[in-house]
Amino acid sequence: MDADNKSYDDINVTPMVDLYLVLLLIFIIMTTAGVQGVKVNLPRGGPASSKPLEGPKMQAITVNTEGKIFLNTLPVTLDELSSKLESLKSSTPEFPVVIRGDSASQYQGIMDVLNVCGRIGITQIGLATQAKK
């Protein structure tokens, strides 16, 4: 009879930790799948020093070796990029942008895209690189 009246003082957190790990794995997979864009050879960078961008649907801006600009997978000019980002900004005030540039592309193309983002007021900007081997 003593065994039936014993109260449980411990909480088993193992199922909760398992759930968190599964959710983390799903979040990682969905975040990497959400970055769309054109295939480019990214430059090598150092270790990540900032936190990953989170929030609404991420926009990928790609500058290829020829200096052409793509918003996600659609080719755009700087003026079209500016107008599309402004319309996104009006519907969603805070959204992250990842700028992807080919390692052989001209630096001026990346600076032009950064200037457009700065003029519009986008504050969550990330530059995509490859990890060092």
Fold of 37-131: Nucleotidyltransferase; domain 5 (3.30.420)
The conformational region for residue 126 under phi > 0 = left, psi -120 to 50 = alpha, else beta, is beta
Which segments of the chain have a pLDDT < 50? 53-55
Domain ranges of the chain: 37-131
DSSP assignment of 13-74 equals -HHHHHHHHHHHHHHHHHHHHH-------PPEE-S--SPPP-SS--EEEEE-TT--EEETTE
CA-to-CA distance for 112 and 77, rounded, in angstroms?
11
Q: What pLDDT score was predicted for residue 42?
A: 61
- For 69-81, what is the HEC assignment? EEECCEEECHHHH
Q: What pLDDT score was predicted for residue 79?
A: 92
Task: Please say whether the beta carbons of 82 and 120 come within 8 A.
Answer: yes
